Amino acid sequence: MTMNILKFGGMITLVSAFTFMSCHKMGEGNKETARAVIEKSFTFPISTPMVMDATNASFAAKSSIANIGGQSVNTLSYGNGGILGPTLKINQGDVMNLVFTNELSEPTNIHWHGLEAPAVQDGYPTDLTQAGNSYTYNFRVVDRPGTYWYHPHPDMATASQAYRGLAGFFIVTSPEEQALNLPQGIYDVPLVIQDKRLAGGLVYNPDTDDKTIGYFGESVLVNGTSGAVMDVETRTYRFRLLNGSNARMYNFALSDGLKFKLIGSDGGLLDVPADISKILLAPGERADVLINFGSMPVGTELFMESASFSGSSSQGSQSFKIMKFKIIKDVIDNFIVPTTLMPVVKISESSSLASRKFNIGHMMAHGGMDGVMHPIDGKTFDANRRDEVVKSGSVEVWEFDNTAGTEIHPMHLHGLQFQVLKRTGGRGLIQPWEKGWKDTILAFPGEKVKIIIRFPENKGKFVFHCHNLEHEDAGMMLNFEIQ
């Protein structure tokens, strides 16, 4: 029988998974109703974060005020106020130089999600910039062209700071990508989707259920806009989708079941486009899509939605609208979708030197002074410990086992990209958006997911963790050191 650990004042008590799950699921329907999205009227023009050259940039984390859905809300922000930070852009191979100042009243840092950043600049949970101090992030960006992002990563405060507004896009380009002539400029649109509790003024105050399941909000924001509407022309747009929520998943779809082209995932472009009608993204995951509005008459309105999905007892039963598109102008568009994009060179499983397995669903801890805890293999985060030691340049297979779990766990590895080999149980398939390079992989309850990693020549200590940020802050994070 799988056992769960309950920790009370430093004492550890074991209880069965059956007992824990039975208690947890009581009233689950009411809990999901409480986490339901309340749709808006979709009358507010979507915001577009300013663009900043990452080779010569500076900004501060600060307290701010944003107008969200006609409501004045206290937020945190990177840059000049409002919510969210600037979209940083850089060419592959160039050196990022960002002077960061902490104008908050609490320590913080920046994690470059998906990038191969040096260990000392990756945003390790205890590498912090204290209030009133500055730090310069300076490293060469070697990653494939794609959609990455940045957010804070202080131990036990990531969820709070990210929820209150600290996040932004980081976009890498290259001549190879530009030669594909994909939509550019105003037709290349990053969209970060987040849910917030606006009635509470964006105050982060999780209760026991929130710490167990995740912090959900009734309002869905796109680029910080509640009830967002975007005017579009009769042409093809590139949308870079980012799930920037703490815990909510989105099953992205277009109204009336319209199809679109999937062209990229976490680590950049796929090898070929794929026709698709839904994309299920967990917190931290990204996908690039092409949507062609060319066949729609002026005046047409359609929605990006989150379709219902199964596999999670805590979310998925509700479908809801995320944002509205309105066709306002008829234009001639000569864009042709490329038949091939960028090669995704597969890592051979036969080249693996080691395999590691991690149980991510066999226990949770409640009660006592420590509150809710989410371990991996019975361990919670300790910065002084080396949990896994790997060799630079080597290939390994890692498996995340959530077969005994009750919650979703999107597992994220810092400082690298990996490929997905296999999923067993649950959905039992590798999804189309999981066939490229990834840095975050979703495991539903009942699933095992196997990934393959070639560790970069980037030595130092990094972390891997669940990107349900409430789980991460409750200890669901371990160290790995590249030697």
In 3D, which of 323, 320, 388 has the Cα closest to residue 354? 388
Strand, coil or helix: what is 79? coil
pLDDT tens across 403-418, in order? 999 999 999 999 999 9
Query: Domains (ranges, CATH) in the chain?
Result: 355-482 (2.60.40.420)
Residue type, 298: V
End-to-end Cα distance, the chain: 37
Q: What is the pLDDT of residue 371?
A: 76
Share in percent of the chain as helix, strand, coil (round to 5): 10, 45, 45
Reported in sequence order, the residue ranges of 267-318 that DSSP labels E, i.e. its strands, are 268-276, 279-281, 286-292, 301-306
Q: What is the pLDDT of residue 78?
A: 95
In 3D, which of 29, 28, 98, 113 has the Cα closest to residue 59? 98
CB 282 within 8 A of CB 444: no
Looking at per-residue pLDDT, the higher value among 11 and 125 belongs to 125
Give the pLDDT band (50/70/90) at residue 28. very low
Q: What is the pLDDT of residue 201?
A: 84
CA–CA separation, 277 vs 255, rounded Å? 10
Q: Give 111's strand partners.
A: 151
- Tokens encoding 76: 């945190």
| Residue 222: CB atoms within 10 Å | 23
CB 217 within 8 A of CB 198: yes
Q: Tell me whether residue 91 is exposed, middle or buried, using C-beta atoms within 10 angstroms of its C-beta: 0 to 12, 13 to 18, 19 or more.
A: middle
The residue assigned the tokens 């809990």 is 31
Q: What strands, in cross-sheet order, belong to the sheet with 320-329?
A: 44-45, 228-233, 320-329, 301-306, 250-254, 279-281
Give the list of residues 6+ apart from residue 126 with CB closer than 8 angstroms, or none. 154, 155, 383
Alpha helices in 227-376 (DSSP H): none
Q: What strands, in cross-sheet order, belong to the sheet with 134-140?
A: 71-78, 57-68, 95-102, 134-140
Give yes or no for residue 25 having a pLDDT over 50. Answer: no
Give yes or no for residue 290 having a pLDDT over 90. Answer: yes
pTM: 0.93
**What is the mean predicted confidence (pLDDT) over 88-110?**
98
Q: What is the pLDDT of residue 359?
A: 97
Q: Residues in the chain, how many?
A: 483
CA–CA separation, 384 vs 190, rounded Å? 38
Give yes or no for residue 11 having a pLDDT over 50. Answer: no
The residue assigned the tokens 């030197």 is 353
- Mean pLDDT value across the chain: 92
CB 11 within 8 A of CB 370: no
pLDDT tens across 432-474, in order? 999 999 999 999 999 999 999 999 999 999 999 999 999 999 9
CA–CA separation, 238 vs 223, rounded Å? 15
CB 226 within 8 A of CB 217: no
Question: For strand 228-233 and strand 44-45, is the pairing parallel, antiparallel, or unpaired?
Answer: parallel
441-468 burial, b at 16+ Cβ within 10 Å, e below that, comes to bbbbbbbbbbbbbbbeebebbbbbbbbb
| Residue 483: CB atoms within 10 Å | 12
In 3D, which of 93, 199, 107, 94 has the Cα closest to residue 154? 107
Q: Give 359's strand partners.
A: 401
Alpha-carbon distance values, 228 to 28, 45, 322, 326 (Å): 30, 6, 8, 11
Residue type, 466: C
Give the list of residues 6+ apart from residue 22 with CB closer than 8 angstroms, or none. none
CA–CA separation, 109 vs 124, rounded Å? 8
Strand, coil or helix: what is 25? helix
Highest mean pLDDT among 10-14, 34-38, 225-229: 225-229
Strand, coil or helix: what is 86? coil
Q: Is the four-CA dihedral 160, 161, 164, 168 of positive or negative sign? A: negative
Give the list of residues 6+ apart from residue 406 with CB closer than 8 angstroms, or none. 20, 21, 24, 25, 313, 361, 364, 445
pLDDT tens across 242-278, in order? 999 999 999 999 998 899 999 999 999 999 999 999 9
CA–CA separation, 97 vs 248, rounded Å? 33
Alpha-carbon distance values, 118 to 11, 140, 340 (Å): 38, 9, 32
pLDDT tens across 211-233, in order? 999 999 999 999 999 999 999 99
Query: For residue 75, how far is the Cα from the chain centroid?
Result: 20
